[in-house]
Structure 1
């Protein structure tokens, strides 16, 4: 299976014809290829997003909401297909993907699709009635979203959905080891009527594709989930350009077992909590 980049509503091969093998975690065998996108691919995605921004940012909240909810409905109606793809890519049980990952991805689009209809600015009269303080909530432009492998579509959409709901356009990179549901999401977005260029998905390594997104001078914000070291690097690159950053880094979950616990219940809970997500 050959996965392609999703740019300006079309599925495109990498401009430098550079590919990475995609491995099945269950048996270690190669079952497909993904682009290792270059700076040129990221620039192509940025141009598409920049071109889409003037219209999308002025699209009515009601229309944005309608498209977001349509994406949610299509994810729900394709539950089995997406769950099987997530399991094949990540190794997690199909039952877990069906009960958590894909429903939550659909919920992300529905939640922010509804929330955007309540999007409003505020004003407050100052003391003495000689001045007024007000806030404006406006999209900032093209933003970058980089997501991890453990909850591929769930966290990918958690970044994308609020960004496009608010009127931004997105250049997004999923983890290179779990690209399949991100690839399928492009099909869903086209079917839902999301305008071309609002969401662009480029695949590849963090050191190449991710780096190109982070250092792009006109991508205004970066949302990243992953390792602490990578997050520190992103902050170092982005800070001189005053990019807005959202960094969720290095989660660890220690398991403390007390001497008076129910041993059988503890053992079952520990095994499930430690290993369920990997199948």
Structure 2
């Protein structure tokens, strides 16, 4: 079984606690490895390493930073199949989706920001002939990056790439449910030649490692993607320290279908937005509002398309819908189905384990 360690100052280290969390394959329920159960001491070590590397990294010419990020992108591409396999095993998503979306987007994230920094500009504006206003793009220090379990590699790279491209160093904490591609990414940054301390990855629960990171006094930047309740906790901890905070939280997104819509396209889009990645995306359409005059036809088409979705082994390339991330999450989803029944709703399709 794979044991995932923390990546701090260019080295893989065991957690200070000596404890590890089981890593469960959502599709089988089997334990496929374990990851570090980190806490404040591990986070502090990572922050110290990042702060120590900051002066040198911020002074590294943009051309060199760009070259290193492009090298990371190239290595992700070279390890495409392994990363797709790990992502599917770790999160329960269909491997076809990981190949089509997650890994390609990780590559593009690094390539985009690698080239964007070559074209950053400093602006100067004259105000009433008496003053000059300057807009200067400069790194601020150590960025704390917390990514979720639904798009582990996609969103982790979306945070790391811009942070280090701009000259910041980072301490990233992936979800404890999906540590595998983060661990592989750490290997690739090392192979690419990213200097020690520029990228640090600490594994562990949000309640210990995550809170230590968001409240650390030497971390002026926080980027968090996850649940709204946790986002409120992040803001409560970061606010009194006047940190710069980016929050991407959950949503209840409606698809709205009017009578003049192309119903074929509307159904296809609604199916994708409802069931892609098992519906585990903050942008997924969890509600449908359909104009009355086309309601019956739309529902018939929607149900027909839903019944054609192939639910199965995420490792099967023909699978459309894989496994939900965890047993507690499954119970939560089933709870919503039960609530719908209790409130008089009619289950038109599904509503139970396949």
Q: TM-score, normalised by structure 2?
A: 0.75
Hey, what does 2:38 align to over in structure 1?
A: 37
Q: 1:265 to 1:54 in 2, by over 3 A?
A: closer
Asked whether the equivalents of residues 93 and 276 of structure 1 are also in contact (C-alpha less than 8 Å), the reply is: no
SS of aligned partner of 1:250? coil
Hey, what does 1:185 align to over in structure 2?
A: 185
Over residues 169-211 of structure 1, what are the superposed CA-to-partner deviations in whole Å (9 max), with x where a residue is unaligned? 0000011111110000001101111000000000010101100
1:240 maps onto 2:240 in alignment: yes
Hey, what does 2:47 align to over in structure 1?
A: 46
Q: Shift of the alpha carbon at 1:273? A: 3.7
Hey, what does 2:66 align to over in structure 1?
A: 65
SS of aligned partner of 2:12? strand
Q: 1:126 to 1:276 in 2, by over 3 A?
A: closer
Q: In 1, distance between residues paired with 2:264 and 2:123?
A: 55
Q: In 2, distance between residues paired with 1:231 and 1:204?
A: 17
Q: Shift of the alpha carbon at 1:80? A: 0.6
Q: In 2, distance between residues paired with 1:133 and 1:274?
A: 47
Unpaired runs of 5+ in structure 2? 279-321, 323-354
Hey, what does 2:10 align to over in structure 1?
A: 9
Q: 1:271 to 1:15 in 2, by over 3 A?
A: same
Q: In 2, distance between residues paired with 1:274 and 1:72?
A: 30
Hey, what does 2:121 align to over in structure 1?
A: 120
SS of aligned partner of 1:172? strand
Over residues 222-267 of structure 1, what are the superposed CA-to-partner deviations in whole Å (9 max), with x where a residue is unaligned? 1001111111111111111000000011133334567999999877
Where does structure 1 differ by over 4 angstroms across 4 or more consecutive aligned residues?
A: 255-272
Q: Shift of the alpha carbon at 1:119? A: 1.6
Q: In 2, distance between residues paired with 1:189 and 1:63?
A: 14
Q: In 2, distance between residues paired with 1:240 and 1:276?
A: 38
Q: In 1, distance between residues paired with 2:98 and 2:165?
A: 25
Q: TM-score, normalised by structure 1?
A: 0.94
Hey, what does 1:219 align to over in structure 2?
A: 219
Q: In 2, distance between residues paired with 1:125 and 1:135?
A: 12
SS of aligned partner of 1:2? strand
Q: In 2, distance between residues paired with 1:152 and 1:254?
A: 25
Q: Shift of the alpha carbon at 1:35? A: 0.8
Give the stretch that moved more between structures: 165-174 or 250-259.
250-259
SS of aligned partner of 1:156? helix
Asked whether the equivalents of residues 69 and 113 of structure 1 are also in contact (C-alpha less than 8 Å), the reply is: yes
Hey, what does 1:138 align to over in structure 2?
A: 138
SS of aligned partner of 1:139? coil
Q: Shift of the alpha carbon at 1:109? A: 0.5
Instruction: Give the number of equivalent residue pairs.
Output: 278
Asked whether the equivalents of residues 173 and 203 of structure 1 are also in contact (C-alpha less than 8 Å), the reply is: yes
Q: In 2, distance between residues paired with 1:154 and 1:66?
A: 21
Hey, what does 1:199 align to over in structure 2?
A: 199
Hey, what does 1:275 align to over in structure 2?
A: 275
Unpaired runs of 5+ in structure 1? none
Asked whether the equivalents of residues 92 and 276 of structure 1 are also in contact (C-alpha less than 8 Å), the reply is: no
Radius of gyration: which is bigger? Answer: 2
SS of aligned partner of 1:140? coil
Query: Aligned Cα RMSD in Å?
Result: 1.9
